[in-house]
Structure formats: C-alpha cells, structure tokens
Amino acid sequence: MREVRAEAPGRVNLIGEHTDYHDGFVLPCAVPQRCVVELRTRDDRRARLWSRQVGTDPFEYEVGAEHRTSSWGDYVQGLTWVLSQQGVALGGFDLHLDSNVPLGSGLSSSAALEVAVMRALRSAFDLEIDELQLARIAQRAEVEFVGAPVGIMDQMAASLAGERAALFLDTRSLAFEQIPLPGGLELAVINSGFTHQHAGGDYVTRRRESEEAARMLAVEKLRDVGLDRLADINALPDVAARRARHIVTENARVLEARMALKAADLQRLGALFAASHASMRDDYEISVPAVDLLVDIASRHEDVFGARMTGGGFGGAIVIAAAAGRAAAMAENVSAAYSSESGHRAEILIPTRT
C-alpha cells in the first residue's frame, strides 16, 4: 500500500481566449487557489473518490470498467480510462479531493483537479510521464470521456504555469516559454457572480461556428490565417466574419502581449486587454452584460492598466492588470461599485486575503 499527496493550481488566462482549439497562442498564469489530492492504493481494482466540496458519500467505480455518469467522478474516471486505453495497468485506490478553485468562474477548476489527480496517480503507480504528457492525458480525458470539447490551455497551465510568470504557449507545437511578470504589475481577478457551463451549449456552438468560418477560409485551423487576410474575413457572412476576426486578431494580441510583458510596457498590455475584451464582447459574443459592466468599472480605475473577461466566457471572472501594490484596494473599490450598480455580488478571487 502506498500513500501519496499531490496538488495543482487553477489558472487565469491573461489573454488568448478561444484560440487554443484553433492551434493558436495563449498566455495563462497559475493562481494561488488549488486542488489537493490524497491517494492511497488498494489491493483490488476498486476506486473510491471523496470530494470535500461534494459531500460524504464516495463515488465508486472499478478501474478498467469506467462508464460515464455525468457527475464529478467522470473527471477522475476519464483519467484512468485514458491510461487504460494507453495500456497502463493501474490498481485501485482511495482518493480524497479538496479544492478551493471556484467552480464556473473561469479559473479552470476541472484542469486543476485533473492535473492534481494525474500527479497522484503518477507517483502512486510509478508512471513515467512528464508534465507535458500529463497535460495531454488530462485534456484527452475531458474531451473524450467527460465530453467537453476543450483545447489544451487549461491542462498545460495547471501542469506547467507559475504564479509570477505567464506561460506563453503555442498550442500547435506545445512549445512554451515562462515570461516573468514585470515588477510594476499586479494581477487582480474578480468573479462577476455569473457561472458558466462548459460541456453544455455555448462553448460548443462558438467552436462550431469558428470551425465553419475556417472552412470558408479554406484552412483547418484559424491559426493559419493572418491579419493580412482581414479583407477576406470581413467579406464572409456576418457571424463567420465575426468569429474568425476574433480568433485572428486575438492571436496577434497574444504575440503583442508577450512583447509588452518582456518590455514591461504595462500601458500597452492594458490596451491589449481592452481590445481583447471588446473582441470577445462584439465579435465572439462570449461576454454577458454583467461582465461588461465589471470590466468597464475596473477599466476606469486609476490604478488599472486594463481589464478583460478571462476563461471560456458567458459569465465568470475578469482579470485586471493593476499597478503593483494597488490591486487589493482597487479590487475592493471596483467590487463595491459593481455591486451597487448591478445589484449582483462580486467576489474578489485575487489578491487572496491572507
């Protein structure tokens, strides 16, 4: 019998939204919120899962006989299912999960869970997989077993990103680079109080619409369309034009944001955040009025370089580039103004209260 403990963080994406399933660029950071896993191996093939957030009754299944249940246990079943597809023989285990990554806020609680569990399985069963393979297995579990057709950003971020560096990732080659955040920059993340649902409708619809736009432009992935083809994009039918324009301009913004971070040009970074939000709001249509309001209020604050929605969209959180040392006070201020203007309750996720 073996007992191991592992963990993985949630992530906040600085810029590059919905670009990953088009082989594009993303720029996420890890957040302090994380999923912690304690795993003990068993002599049989039974898996028993407890989640501190879900309740007392364990979710149980037989390793090697996974079956989809549309409940949280599927995220773990998906991992052992992928491993068995790859010919890896695992034994049973008892597993306790505890996560403070908020659900449905756009901080990717699911990838934190998947990567934490994979790390625990890796050490308990001596699996020879590196961080990159681990992210690939986690994404495959979510796409093929859970049934959410996501890209690979979140799993790569949970596996490889740090809190004081942005992970610049090319989702086609999976080449990545850690870019330290400039000293003058502090990030804030505020949840709008509206939650999203991934496996369901809207994310899938956007993915399909953008894939349709790619077909019209005669490419498989919009990564292969540059800004030089904006005239072709604008000539497409309205919805296709807007979906393609978002992906193509967003990819260009990620590359610029990477340079702005390296040059510590925070004004430029802020302007890119603003342009990214406008593109998500008007072209990709993945924002909601409450989130737009929160972004507007944050953007007007004197200690803010720029703000935008982060994550899959249709609610969730915004990320704010703020002046170092000012994020906590600014976030209090912005949340209070949002609550009184909208009647909804904002929640400050970063900076975390110590």
**Footprint on residues 278-317 left by ligand GLA (CB under 6 A):** 311-312
171 near ligand GLA, rule: CB under 6 A: no
Residues 6+ apart with CB under 8 A from 216: 236, 237, 240, 244
169 near ligand GLA, rule: CB under 6 A: no
| Residue among 272, 271, 218 at smallest CA distance from 244 | 218
Instruction: Give the range of 18-26, 81-89, 172-180, 231-239 binding ligand GLA by CB under 6 A.
Output: 18-26
The residue count of the chain comes to: 354
Q: Which of 146, 150, 309, 317 binds ligand GLA (CB under 6 A)?
A: 150
Q: Which residue's CB is nearer to ligand GLA, number 198 or number 301?
A: 198
For the chain, the straight-line distance linking the first and the last C-alpha, in angstroms and rounded, comes to: 37
Q: What's the chain's Rg over C-alpha atoms?
A: 20
- DSSP letter string, 94-145: EEEEEE-SPTTSSS-HHHHHHHHHHHHHHHHTT----HHHHHHHHHHIIIII
Q: Which of 17, 23, 66, 283 binds ligand GLA (CB under 6 A)?
A: 17
Binding mask 101-140 toward ligand GLA (x if CB under 6 A, else -) reads -------x--------------------------------
Q: Which residue's CB is nearer to ligand GLA, number 136 or number 301?
A: 136
Instruction: Give the range of 13-21, 299-307, 324-332, 343-351 binding ligand GLA by CB under 6 A.
Output: 13-21
- Write out the two tokens for 276: 């990214």
- DSSP letter string, 15-35: S--S-GGGT-EE-EEEEEEEE
Catalytic residue among 23, 94, 154, 303: 154
For the question of residue 154 being annotated catalytic, the response is yes
- The catalytic residue positions are 154
Contact set with ligand GLA (CB under 6 A): 13, 17-18, 20-21, 108, 150-151, 153-154, 311-312
